[in-house]
A and B are shown apart, each in its own frame.
Chain A
Amino acid sequence: MNGKNMNNGQNALFCQKLTKAFGGLEAVKDVDFRVTHGERRAIIGPNGAGKTTFFSLINGQHPVTSGSIELLGQDVTKLPAHKRAALGLGRTFQITNLFPTQTVIDNLVISAMGLMGTKFSMLKPLSSYRPLYSKAEEALKSVGLLERDSVLIKNLSYGEQRQVEIAMALISRPKVLLLDEPTAGLSPAESHMMSEIIKGLDPSITILIIEHDMDVALSVADYITVLHEGRVFMEGSADEVRGNTRVQEIYFGEE
């Protein structure tokens, strides 16, 4: 089959022979990857499989060594991260990455401005831009954190910080969303709440989720890609992945 000409119009994301080498180490190697619009795809794999590096290639934080990336039908291989964000790509981070010295609401206001011309205005205080604040409040409401709006990020609980991560990625209404281990380090109850939040997202958003917790991965995604040592090991439905003994070996074998 010729992947290049296949269903390009329906691809939210399309990677070909994607490779990233750090010196001699190939963290991602020859990855062919395709996700259609509105799909929910989980990416699993043992530690060091190259999952986070793969995300950083997709969103442009790392330049690719070779291969190509198409986002929403447009070749973005050479596009810087902020331009990919403008095309409708959002992401969260595995290690919480917020503005710790600022309040929850301000974190969201800064996020809301990311794709707006307002970010260059200099002669009016930010606090006078009321529509940005109401947008931020709405986003906080959607993750259930509205009553915490004036708390400094560094004073939030870890679980709450993870919720802010999601809210920040959603506020600019991304078409494709990369979630890097949204439940990492959460208690089972918080973890459950987080997967409910993800399941409740607008179904038109294409979501890629890296997830260590198999239960979360299988409950959120319809289709799973297994990465192993930088390569795509297999792709399939939840049942196919669960039933594959080789996957169990590489993924669960170390436990």
Chain B
Amino acid sequence: MKVQNKSFRLAWVGLAAAALVILVLPPVLPPFYVSLITLALIYGLVATSLDILIGYTMMPSLGHGAYFALGAYTAAIMNTKLAAGFWATLPVSILIAGCFAAVLGLVAMRAAGVYFLMITLAAAMCVWGLVDQWVDFTGGENGMSGITRIGFGLDLNGTLSFHYFTSAFYIVCVGLIYLIIKSPFGRTLVGIRDSASRMQVLGYNVWLHKYMAFIIAAMFAGMGGCLYAYFNKFVGPDDADLAQCMEFFLMVSMGGQGTLIGPNIGAFIIVFLKNLASIYTDRWVMILAAIYILAARFAPKGILGLPEQLREKKKAEAGK
């Protein structure tokens, strides 16, 4: 009971800190930092959706960058070529990311573990190849610039106003993911993670539940991609490349998989490290790699897994 109270209090402290950073501080921060927070929220949403797969369904997908890129490019193309606004592009971004996952899932879910990882990665590289090579449609290596923040129903051209819009969008979407995880459907995913054979015997179509989770996660990543296009006003092949796919994966595993909050912490750390470190050095990727090795060595369950890890260590030492 005591431990429960403590973690309950900790949750409130965390929530208050998050509200402070996301909602209270931005008006007094320089615009550069505000847009870093905005970006971290967008990436955080994508990483949270990836946690549905990695943490709750044991489907380690490296392909999440593909849905993000599909969502972003859909928005960019519709916006620059058709002058479509946000609320018009959002459903299309979600739909395209979802459809891609629906097709990919049929193939990828025949495999598990490392093979699943490789197939999803290969699919993501196909998307990268597509946006990199299809010059007429996607601008190729030059990417797509000139995205305008229209159709939001609000004037969002300022850094701060866009930040608050993103925050509201983020809170709704992450809240939805939280609800899905707590819902009967979400609990069946945890059941499948713990024992797929038991779930079958209880009457669950294990494949169908995993397939649905796969598509739902992709749709949220597509949403994140769509918002990203309007945030950055530019999308390029870098938003679909291997490094981007790896980063989403790292956000989840570094922050703590299966926690929903962890991936958001991971997103903040990676966005801030990347942008602050790259002011001083071009070797940002090396720093990321070092951090990842350290995290994998000393905190295999991620940052949010640390307290539990320490408790277990203490217990093991006390047992000796």
Contacts and interface: CB of A to CB of B under 8 A. Distances in A.
Interface string A119-130: 111111111010
Given A81-B200, A85-B200, A120 B185 contact: yes
Interface of A: 59-61, 80-82, 85-86, 90-91, 93, 97-102, 106, 109-111, 113-115, 118-127, 129, 168-169, 172
Interface of B: 179-180, 182-188, 190-191, 194-195, 197-206, 209, 212
A110 B195 contact: no
A209 to B, nearest CB: 16
Contacts of B191: 99, 102, 110
Contacts of B201: 59, 61, 81, 85, 90-91, 169
Nearest to B202: A114
The 3 closest A-B pairs by CB, nearest first: A114-B202, A114-B203, A85-B203
B184 A113 contact: yes
Contacts of B184: 113, 118-122, 124, 126, 129
Given A98-B198, A100-B194, A110-B187, A119 B182 contact: no
15 contacts: A61-B200, A61-B201, A81-B201, A82-B204, A93-B197, A99-B191, A100-B194, A110-B188, A111-B202, A114-B202, A121-B184, A122-B179, A122-B183, A125-B182, A129-B184
B195 A99 contact: yes
B81 to A, nearest CB: 34
Contact of A126 (B182, B200, B206, B209): B182
Given A110-B187, A114-B203, A129-B184, A123 B179 contact: yes
A98 B196 CA distance: 10
B183 A124 contact: yes
A188 to B, nearest CB: 28
Contacts of B209: 119
